[in-house]
Amino acid sequence: MEMSKLRQIDEYCWTGADAPGRIRLYGSRELLEAMDNKVLEQITNVSRLPGLVGPAMTMPDAHWGYGFPIGGVAAFDPALGGIVSAGGVGFDISCGIRLLRTNLRWAEIAARAWELSEQLFDRIPAGVGEEGTLHLSMDELDEMLAGGARWAADRGFGALEEMEFVEEHGRMAGAEPASVSNLAKKRQRGEMGTLGSGNHYLEVQVVDRLFDAEVAAAYGLEVGQVVVSIHCGSRGLGHQIGSEFLVSMAKGAAGHGITLPDRELACAPIRSTEGRRYLGAMRAGVNCALANRQILAHLTREVFVGLFPGAQLEIMYDVSHNTCKEERHSVDGVERALFVHRKGATRALGPGDHRLPRRYRPAGQPVIIGGSMGTGSYILVGTAASEERALSSASHGAGRSMSRHAALKQWHGRQLVDELRGAGIVIRTKSMRGVAEEAPGAYKDVDVVAEVTERAGLARRVALLRPKICVKG
């Protein structure tokens, strides 16, 4: 990114030289310099959308995406004609990470790592178009879209008691299955309990280092402990919802008096019929992702218990990115009901927030920054400062530094798998092309992203996780 186009606010916060105050970019000079100029262009375009309250923001892991940059955060007030944008949520609605803590230590299971990887790979369908053993009727799909993870728990996939540790308590209110097309539903009929492809994964990890022992204890984490991260979303259903509403919103924008700075920023007023329809469909997509991760967690638990009798896998937390949520925030001293888009960004509530589980309320919300196959992942905690700085938002991952096309030119899947095996990391995949596209070198340095996220006041580091087994599509 051309730094001459930015004006520095503080050490880790910048604004646009041509649009001071309208945009805010969080990151170190080095991270911002390495970003494409398209990130600045896209977040500047977002700042021109109707009803924006406060600045349009990017997180330290930002990179350019479809319309909104990935790592983008923007809030809109319906009372000011504020909009909702399908591009501001993304195609993989409620893509997120569920982290399971276990009562196992790596030393206890290391000798059976390959066997564990085989069973997880056999049990967890992963890859483009992969289907699982669960096939839903259209009526069951509607029930799932309304019920989320609670629907899955009611059917024996885990327990309702776990919902305290899932965003929205496992079910996002306001979902409207009737606003989801039959084509979107048909795409999802056989995809519940599946990982998908791209950067999605199921990873067995070990807690390598603690940065905050007190918060780690509240989260039930200790060095040497085995944990499992499940990273996936709403699969084909979410992609279809995004595709369809991007088209309809683009066609209808002019009728609402909206001039789009970029067609990819297709949107509709929150209070319009189209806006309400999208929100109903998007919330159904959120519930689909929550249900999907609930099923995957149950399947994972069964594999572990089968191999290690007495194993316990509990939800530490389930955090979503790629959402638009109605939240109350104080902006310029005025409390407002806002619709907060977080695309490739996670909510990061500070200590004392009533939406948090009682166990975590004194510390703050767990924030999970996922690594990039072969690198570490981080657990952070939301801070009180993040509310004012970024509407309680933080980074969601390392963030790409290279396109998938460019990665394919530089790396070969088999070579990467062999190299990671030599480093003690087992990769199980059906697509060597997918491994090359997701090469660790195609992403920003996750250690730097996590540190800068902390230094920027968005969330504070709690624990570093190291991968041992990674199942990918």
| DSSP state string for 283-345 | HHHHHHHHHHHHHHHHHHHHHHHHHSTT--EEEEEEEE-SEEEEEEEEETTEEEEEEEEEESE
Q: Tokens representing 145?
A: 């879209």
| Number of Cβ within a 10 Å radius of residue 335 | 9
In this prediction, residue 334 carries a pLDDT of: 87
Give the structural domain span for 56: 3-401+443-472
CB-based contact 345:73 (threshold 8 Å): yes
Q: Which amino acid is at 318?
A: D
Write the CB contacts of 157 (distance below 8 Å, at least 6 apart in sequence).
Answer: 294, 295, 297, 298
Give the CA distances from residue 15 to residues 58, 232, 265, 330, 460, in Å, rounded to whole numbers and listed in that order.
10, 32, 21, 21, 23
Residue 396 designated active-site: yes
In a domain, 435, yes or no: no
pLDDT tens string, the chain, 473 residues long: the values are 999 999 999 999 999 998 788 999 999 999 999 999 999 999 999 999 999 999 999 999 999 999 999 999 999 999 999 999 999 999 999 999 999 999 999 999 999 999 999 999 999 988 887 888 899 999 999 999 999 999 999 999 999 999 999 999 999 999 999 999 999 999 999 999 999 888 899 999 999 999 999 999 999 999 999 999 999 999 999 999 999 999 999 999 999 999 999 999 999 999 999 999 999 999 999 999 999 999 999 999 999 999 999 999 999 999 999 999 999 998 888 899 999 999 999 999 999 999 999 999 999 999 999 998 889 999 999 999 999 999 999 999 999 999 999 999 999 999 999 999 999 999 999 889 999 999 999 999 999 999 999 999 999 999 999 999 999 97
Pairing of strands 201-210, 56-63: unpaired
| Number of Cβ within a 10 Å radius of residue 154 | 13
- Rounded Cα gap, residues 79 and 223, in angstroms: 49
In this prediction, residue 208 carries a pLDDT of: 98
CATH number at residue 468: 3.90.1860.10
- Rounded Cα gap, residues 65 and 84, in angstroms: 17
Give the CA distances from residue 206 to residues 58, 113, 308, 374, in Å, rounded to whole numbers and listed in that order.
30, 12, 16, 13
Closest CA relative to residue 329, chosen from 125, 99, 53: 53
Domain count, the chain: 1
Q: Tokens representing 473?
A: 């599509």
Beta strands in 39-95 (DSSP E): 56-63, 70-76, 83-85
pTM assigned to the model: 0.96
Give the CA distances from residue 296 to residues 95, 103, 256, 335, in Å, rounded to whole numbers and listed in that order.
14, 19, 41, 38
Q: Tokens representing 66?
A: 């479809």
| Number of Cβ within a 10 Å radius of residue 415 | 13
In a domain, 432, yes or no: no
Task: Give φ, ψ of 357 to 5 degrees.
Answer: -60, 145
Which of these is catalytic: 239, 396, 405, 412?
Answer: 396
Q: Compute the C-alpha angle 116/117/122, nearest 5°.
A: 100
Give the CA distances from residue 177 to residues 141, 143, 144, 281, 384, in Å, rounded to whole numbers and listed in that order.
8, 8, 9, 6, 36
CB-based contact 117:92 (threshold 8 Å): no
